[in-house]
Structure 1
Amino acid sequence: MPEKTTMRAHRLRTREAKWTIETVPIPVPGPDQVLIKVAFCGICHSDLSFNSGAFEVANDQTSGSPLRRVPEVVTSGHEVTGTIAALGPGVTGWEIGDRVIAPTGQPDHTCEVCRTGVFEDCPNLEVLAVTKDGGWAEYVLSRAIAPIRIPDSLPLDQAAIIPDALSTPYGAVVNTGQVKVGEAVGVWGIGGVGTHLVQVARLVGANPIIAFDISEETRQRALDRGADFAFDSRDPDLEQKVMEATGGHMFDVTFDAVGIKPTFTQALAFTRNRGRMIAVGETMDEVSIGTTLHFGVSRKQVRGHLGCPNEDVEALVKLVAAGRLDVSQSISNVVSLENLADGIDQLHHHTDNPIRILVNPNL
């Protein structure tokens, strides 16, 4: 255990949507837990939504939703990298100082659902910053079975991009979207998730890849990361431009990385008949697939997406470490825990078009 007994941590009062930086006891790992000293933790738009109360965590009654188990006070931050600082009683397989990612979702690996191998549907799933304290703190607890090792060749700040900002796009493209080589792909919203959607789509061989964003600077970023075309989604000639770019085919797969009604609607409209539209961005907006007649005749599929299995996070660690996926340019800023509000404000107002802002609680 660390020599000191207290730490600084962000504390969100979920029912009031109010947060402060406080001094709290350093948690002590139990028999199936490890304590991780946080090196970096990302600031995600979902963190902003929880902190503002936009997800209405107190009233969510969706069956099986982790939001039903949100405590009244929780530490935010779910993209955690760091080093093992202490082991719970009887825990083996780890040594103090091991470099790790703490996965966002941590199944218990013992329930009936986990025994079928569908770990992400575990009814006892622990979710950092949702059902348990996250990584906007000096230390965080993790189930001992959960952490993923980071090779010495991979910087801890780049590794912090992987647990959500990279793994969510990877899961959307590979698992939910099932993008095949040569398929035409459209991506709406080139922020932290959309930027990596473009990169992963390029990695798996999508062609062409077209990015949509209202910011000219952000569209250029999409081109720099591997998009073949980048269009303003407000362009009155947009449909004609997409038709020309795809050879009249439109999109086999579209991804809405924003999650608001206009982007959802446009992405679905630009999906070809029998194509797949993947909803990745999450807000409280209500959306529509139109009439059942037109939806049925089109035979389009709309698929919701969330996260990525931990085994895919391990695969991404290897890909990034090997240089197959470059996230070195995805870190837009690093702030201290005490200056967390500055990072939140920068992301909220899109100041300098950030991809990912990290918190370093050791600054």
Structure 2
Amino acid sequence: MDTMLAGRLNLATGSFAVTGVPVPEPGPGELLIEVKAAGVCLSDVHLIDRTLRPVFNPNNEVTLGHEVAGIVFRLGSNLKRPWKPGARVVLLGGEPCGTCDACWRHAPCLVPRTRGADFDGGWAQYAVAREECVYAIPDHLPFEQAAIIPDAVSTPYAAVVATAGVRPAQAVGIWGAGGLGVHAISVARLVGAEPIIAIDPLTDALERTLSYGADVALQPEDPNFHEKLMEATRGQGLDVAFDFAGVPTAREQAATSLARNGVLVLVGIAAQPFAIADDAVFNYSGNEVRGHYGSTPAHLEELIRLTSAGRLDLTASVSERLPLSQASEAVAHLAHKSGSPVRIVLTPAHRAGA
């Protein structure tokens, strides 16, 4: 039996290791993908430290990785499209369950499963994917950039254009300048937000936001924070504030920075209570709080087009490249923010003959 390397997490004990496992076989309607690049996300870190737990995974172990790009290696049976081995592709970060009432009616799934959490992901030399979750990418789009589009780019993209519906000339504040936050800045710039204010306590991360399109960069503990934000927004406050930090204090600060009818969008997951300091002011101002999670297949398709056309440049977003065998080091680098990474990408080596 052919084997491959895979980054496996024991869901019961939290132990993680890159180990040898059988190469999976694609079933009906599935493709076997030779993985060329796989992103390392903070949610992967939180799965390992057990801050996050898979909701729909009945197994004791899972291969991590929900940001995956590669080439079609082997075809399953009963495919609906004329896939060919060698086709360059990127995978959706999850898949619908296929059995709930919503799936039956071709509506958004009620219990979507996340790749690399609820079923095996792409921290491996090969990964299986249902063909409806596989999207072609052009030859000129590097695998490493394509891999981070699902989640690192698509989640903030969906938060900005769909959940918040940011319009040109709206004032936007973005708390958290990590892998999702900096791409939210790029997307906000793309849709014409003005000004774009980045907020982060880390100097390196904050300085980086200016190259991604932020107009103003502020540290949250700045004693003159509110005055500087109001000056930047011409005394109005923020039309939309995004929390990508997943920190209660960031959310509280964001909520007090809103303009009249301003909206707070929660993207980061804190798993902690969130309090509105003054509900009278919040209510009188007509403010809102909206939750956001993930993105849709349509968002992935749009981003493939935008990056392919050069509207979004992801060249600087790949901070570090490591072989799959060093996945534990990649997790440590991200957990400790070593080198202030945007996205670390694993590059599994192909083993001929599999």
Common topology (TM > 0.5): yes
Asked if 1:28 is matched to 2:25, the reply is: yes
1:265 alignment partner, SS class: helix
Counting matched residue pairs gives: 349
Superposition deviation, residue 298 in structure 1: 3.1
Distance in 2 separating the partners of 1:200 and 1:194: 10
1:87 to 56, 62, 75: 75
The reply on whether 1:319 has 2:306 as its aligned counterpart is yes
CA deviation string 1:98-123 (max 9, x = no partner)? 1111101212567531355542x343
**Gaps (5+ residues) in structure 1?**
58-65
How far apart are the structure 2 equivalents of 1:90 and 1:118? 23
1:18 corresponding residue in structure 2 = 15
Q: Does 1:347 align with 2:344?
A: no
Q: In structure 2, the residue corresponding to 1:67 is in which secondary structure?
A: coil
- Rounded to whole Å, the distance in 1 between the matches of 2:347 and 2:298 is 26
Q: Distance in 2 between matches of 1:194 and 1:67?
A: 25
Give matches, 1:169-318, under 5 Å: 169-290=156-277, 292-318=279-305
For 2:59, the equivalent position in structure 1 comes to 71
Q: Does residue 97 of structure 1 match 2:97?
A: no
Q: Specify the SS of the correspondent of 2:167.
A: coil
CA RMSD after TM alignment: 1.6
TM (norm. structure 1) is 0.92
**Alpha-carbon distance, 1:214 to partner:** 1.2
1:304, 1:144 → 2: CA distance? 30
Does structure 1 retain, via aligned residues, the 8 Å contact 2:154–2:295?
Answer: yes
Residue 143 (str. 1) matches residue 140 (str. 2): no
SS at 2:240's partner residue?
Answer: strand
Question: For residue 322 of structure 2, what is the aligned residue in structure 1?
Answer: 335
The alignment-based identity, stated in percent, is: 39
Maintained 8 Å contact 2:252/2:277: no
- Equivalent residues of 1:223, 1:229 under 8 A apart: yes
Distance 1:70 1:170 in 2: 31
Shift in Å at residue 87 of structure 1? 1.3
Quote how far apart the aligned CAs of 1:343 are: 1.0
What residue identity is the alignment partner of 1:85?
F
**Alignment partner, residue 40 of structure 1:** 37
Is contact 1:81-1:157 (8 Å) kept? Answer: yes
Structure 2 alignment gaps of length 5 or more: none
Corresponding residue number in structure 2 for 1:127? 114
- Equivalent position SS for 1:24: strand
- TM-score normalized with structure 2 length: 0.94
